[in-house]
Structure 1
Amino acid sequence: MKRVRLEYGDSWMDVDVPENALIARPGEDFPEPEPLEDPVEATRNALSEPLGCPPIRELVGPGSKVVIAFPDRVKGGAHTTAHRRVSIPLILEELAEASVDERDIRLICAIGLHRKNTYEEFESYLGPRIATRFRGEKLVNHDPEDPREIVRLGETDRGDVVEINRAILEADLVVTLGHTLGNPYGGYSGGYKMPCTGLTSWRSIRCHHTPKTMHREDFTPASTRSHFRHQLTEIGRKIEENMKAPFFMVDAVLDGRSRQIAVFAGRAEEVEKASWPVAGRRTEVTLEKEKADVLVLGMPRSFHYGPGMGSNPILMLQAIGSSIVRNADALIPNPVVICASVCDGWFNDEWFPSYRETYELFQRCATVDEMQKYEEDLCMREEYISRFRHAYGYHPYHAFSMLYMGGIALERARAIYIAGAEEPECARGVGCIPTRTFEEALRYATRHVGKAPRMLVIPELSKPQVHVSSRA
């Protein structure tokens, strides 16, 4: 046996696993690509030679209205050479060269259904100079619940609703920043995924963040060839048909520490075509090993969605479902999952105001899919909409979409054990089995897979993950 340290709430859980267990820590057990030596120069070069279109300075001029849309605090880093910090000043240089008046430039945080970002958060990841320079009406959060701000464009050929921020349609040019990083939703972040999830409405987002899409066979494992990804492409194209000019995207391929590996700029499909193979060399890890029958996860209390993600039972289940999606090709069908989580019932109602009621409604349902009948009620509830718009809470549909991802874990895992669950009923309430210790969970797991389990261990869910597959 060998000892592994798993993230567990606000601390760690030391456990013993078989010697042949595969430990998946990006940057340690799998090498990371070398980051760019000079991300500023690389970004400047990408802007100078964009893919599929002229540079920004040739697309606009005096009097042009420009939107720069950027991802929220959830991903991307806040270090001095992070993609947002590097790119926005260089884009502003291009616009100044084209004689665009800075009063005609607006920065929009593409939050989608995430909580609105505070000015202090803008300052932390955009840098104080940009945050101060645009503070006020020129630096805003997308608001999908403002009826004056959202325009309905109809539906795609698949019948998906397309609603978009009005500023995107009124601008002469929209520049989007994206982080091309491994993602269980459609393979990678960035590309069309950025505006289609960040600048639309819950009615548009629920067309793809829904069981009808997420519980299809082609959603797992994570792939750019899924129905989900095709939906994003069609929604993105529909939006562009109604824009004054197509999106100009500036996407950086990131490593596990949010450092740029490569930067590409230009039209959406050209940027996706160029960035995905580079991201794949960092993200897609293929091993000549037998597939694992036990997936072991270490879950901290707080990670990318915010404080309480690892103790909130819906988000805990979402993280387990995401891990199965990412690593399905390294797992046998219907593996056992052992997750170290405090699961103490702290929902963090301030950030996630609708989650507690969503969890309670789930107790009335036999399957995750049945939750769809509650969507309209909760997502139009004034209390929750007000908390989203004015008090930095997540949108109520976010809880549904997270539960639907968690439904993948319930469908595809033979059993899910929550080791160290402090509130056992919270684990049971999302279809999991609480145990006092990891050792107890492992004993139960061997009843399903035998005395010599093959394990895939992901000790730190707080870090950007790779997508593992096995071919032995």
Structure 2
Amino acid sequence: MLEVDERTPPLLVHSGAGVLLERFPLGTRVVYPPQPRPGVGDVDAAIGAALAEPVGSAPLSALLRPGMRLAISVDDLRTPQPRVRGVDARGRILEQVLSAAAAAGVDEVTLVVANGLHRRLSAAEVAGIVGERVFRSFWPTQLACHDAEDAANLVEVGRSDAGEPVQIARAVAEADLLVAVGIVQGPGQGGLGALVEGLSSYASLRAVHGVAAVTQAAAAGAGGGGTVDGRVVQGAAAGRVGAVLGAAVPVFAVAATVNAAVGPGPFLTRREWEWSPADSALAFGVGRGLELLGGRGRARVLRDLAADYAITSVTAGEPQAVAVAAWQAVDAQQRVDVDGQSDVVVVGLPPFGAYQGGAPADPVLAAHGALADVFARHRGRPVVRENGAMIVYHPVAARFSQLHQPSYVDFYEEVLAESSDPATIEAKFERQYATDPWYASLYRTSLAHHGVHPFHRWYETAPARAHLAEVVFVGGDRAVCARLGYRAASTLADALEIVAGSVGRDPSITYLHSPPQLITEVR
């Protein structure tokens, strides 16, 4: 952590598809993410060892037998972000799992991409995750994306203690064993609750993603994910539906974790005063180059963004135990201790995100990136005090992907035009969008997010909205920010002037210098 003084150089700040070099007020605390940790070395050997020596479970080979029905789920492109360059660890895990199944005489194997209500993936995207050999062997008859609107292939496997129905993909519900393969990089990933999210239906996820559930999870400490005293922190609703899945289908989880080497250059993980002349030139070139490219060029660059991650751990076995182990590895890579809360937190949003699909963030996802993703990345208390202010660098504009986000367009134009309050939106509009046949058709056939998708992302901003007195987007369109319920400013100085009524004219300021991702723990 750094405190800005007269000698501090301008600091790198992400702002959507661009980067800036910004001078911060004297005394600003700058929280840097930890340096990338080394990888495990031989990834294939680490995978083999995890399958042979799992936590809380017999080895995978002991769970496989001739004549059984094996289902394998694999996480979609939401994680890691940016995507993996080259061979994806999930493909390497799948190859060893499938080899073990073949050696055990298992012939009936089905693979499901666990995309849930998120957009289904193209064939090329699936191939990038599972690898060409697995893709050619199984696509499209034994390998497909989950379809949350395919009623004929959804099976109710039980109801939670609160009466919530748990409907999951038929191939999973009827399996003798489910092997769940994923990469864990951020809060809320891993465990049975997250597995239900990828394999179920809107009816099953209403309770998990509703405003009340999101608020309860944040109050319970699940906003930043992670573990407390060795148990997975998750919302009560996610825990309830996850328990139903775990009781209905035997699950063997395999999770890899990655380090913080997000690229495209080492300047992203170095302190500015450590930059070489080449780093400075690259930082300037990235910002200026993206500015000059124009919309289509920037979109192409964003679509092709990839990182050379190192795999820091591979764990297999009982799903909750695997989630705990994965989170310990993530915590070791990302956690930073911070002394006390501040009046203002400043963040810059990068050009990639879990739901963008290679496109610039639309207004809803820009708000989600700041208020749900970055804000929630803490253990215990957030780095900004209650009734403090958040200043976000992002050129918020009414731009959407017509391919991936048709319901987002209407959510912005129709829903937010009437109200930005999550509870009001949930009560008045959610069911209409969730059951609209046109959105359902686009989800099933055209790579679009489900009709209810923007609602869930908006609800996830509710805890931050309740905590903060002011949110200001530097570089954002004023009319668009106003529709979101926030303010816009041209410069950092303007933003600090706007929030002065809430935090005073000499506030304490913390800048979260990210990406790479970090998790704060306020002492």
For residue 308 of structure 1, report the CA deviation from its aligned partner. 7.6
Equivalent residues of 1:191, 1:251 under 8 A apart: no
| Match status 1:49 vs 2:53 | yes
Equivalent residues of 1:67, 1:105 under 8 A apart: yes
Which deviates more, 428-437 or 290-299? 290-299
For residue 398 of structure 1, report the CA deviation from its aligned partner. 1.2
Cα separation, partners in 2 of 1:426 and 1:219, compared to 1, 3 Å: farther
Query: Aligned partners of 1:284, 1:83: CA distance in 2, in Å?
Result: 23
Amino acid across the alignment from 2:497: R
| 3-state SS of paired residue (1:208) | helix
- Give the structure 2 partner of residue 377 of structure 1: 432
| Match status 1:326 vs 2:330 | no
Cα separation, partners in 2 of 1:127 and 1:5, compared to 1, 3 Å: same
Task: Specify every segment of 5 or more residues in structure 2 that has no aligned partner in the other structure, as ranges.
Answer: 262-308
Equivalent residues of 1:301, 1:342 under 8 A apart: no
- Give the structure 2 partner of residue 192 of structure 1: 192
Amino acid across the alignment from 2:492: F
Cα separation, partners in 2 of 1:431 and 1:6, compared to 1, 3 Å: same
Task: Specify every segment of 5 or more residues in structure 1 that has no aligned partner in the other structure, as ranges.
Answer: none
Equivalent residues of 2:345, 2:383 under 8 A apart: no
Question: Quick one: percent identity of the two aligned structures?
Answer: 24
| TM-score normalised per structure 2 | 0.82
Amino acid across the alignment from 2:377: R
Give the helix-richer structure, 1 or 2: 2
- CA deviation map 1:353-410 (0-9, x unaligned): 1012222213223621111121111111111001100000001111111111122332
| Match status 1:286 vs 2:337 | yes
| Match status 1:85 vs 2:91 | yes
Equivalent residues of 2:213, 2:236 under 8 A apart: no
| Match status 1:149 vs 2:149 | no
| 3-state SS of paired residue (2:452) | helix
| 3-state SS of paired residue (1:5) | strand
User: Which of 440, 450, 458 does residue 504 from structure 2 map onto?
Assistant: 450
Q: How does 1:54-453 map to 2 (within 5 A)?
A: 54-76=58-80, 77-80=83-86, 82-101=88-107, 104-183=108-187, 188-216=188-216, 217-219=219-221, 221-223=223-225, 224=227, 228-243=234-249, 246-257=250-261, 258-287=309-338, 289-307=339-357, 311-322=361-372, 323-327=374-378, 328-359=381-412, 360-365=414-419, 367-373=421-427, 374-421=429-476, 423-453=477-507
For residue 302 of structure 1, report the CA deviation from its aligned partner. 4.0
Cα separation, partners in 2 of 1:179 and 1:115, compared to 1, 3 Å: same
Cα separation, partners in 2 of 1:71 and 1:431, compared to 1, 3 Å: same
- Give the structure 2 partner of residue 9 of structure 1: 16
Which deviates more, 66-75 or 16-25? 16-25
| 3-state SS of paired residue (1:332) | strand
Query: Aligned partners of 2:516, 2:156: CA distance in 1, in Å?
Result: 34
Give runs of ≥4 in structure 1 deviating > 6 Å: none
How large is the Cα RMSD of the aligned pairs?
A: 2.2
- CA deviation map 1:145-168 (0-9, x unaligned): 001111123421133331111111
- CA deviation map 1:101-152 (0-9, x unaligned): 2xx2121100011111111111223222222222221110000100111112
